[in-house]
Amino acid sequence: MIEVKEPKKKIPVVGLISGMLTVSKYIFKKPVTVQYPEQKPELPDRFRFRIFLKLDDCVGCTLCEQVCPNHSINMQKVDRENPRNKRKIYPDVNFGTCTVCRNCQEICPTEAIYLDKEFETARTRNSFTYSPEELALKENEVIK
């Protein structure tokens, strides 16, 4: 027969004191939370989020679409004159599925697609996909 050991009974006040000690350790430390959006967070130097596209530099090679592990990039027809992009195709990006892996930036032969520090991409429209033209805009110029 298996003998079941009774758990040791703790004195209730010990837990309370231990909790108070933990609180007192942090009470005079500078808080790590910020009152966003009134206060902006300090971002690490290497932080990157939002993807941008230089339309004139994109040659429509589709490498970014092929390398994206989440199929977040799809090539779209854009009717604009660009002698470097004869097929007139440019990537869009679905930020709802993008995991910010940076593969698209790494593989782009012309450095047309790149990630930058912008992170305030909240929106009211029911789509996280940025068209190629929207990728070329600053975040505050995109219609939300």
Q: Which residues contact ligand SF4 (rule: CB under 6 A)?
A: 58-64, 67-70, 72-73, 91, 93, 98-104, 107-108, 110, 112-113
Tell me whether residue 78 or residue 113 sits nearer to ligand SF4 (CB atom). Answer: 113
Nearer to ligand SF4, 61 or 78 (CB): 61
Distance CA 21, CA 27 (A): 10
> Quick one: 22 or 70, whose CB is closer to ligand SF4?
70
Least CB distance from residue 85 to ligand SF4, whole Å? 8
Q: How far is the CB of 52 from ligand SF4 (least distance, A)?
A: 10
Give the separation between CA 1 and CA 87, rounded to whole angstroms. Answer: 78
Report in angstroms how near the CB of residue 124 gets to ligand SF4 at its nearest. 23
**Phi-psi category of 71—alpha, beta or left, where left has phi over 0 and alpha has psi -120 to 50?**
left
Phi, psi of 51 (to 5 degrees): -95, 135
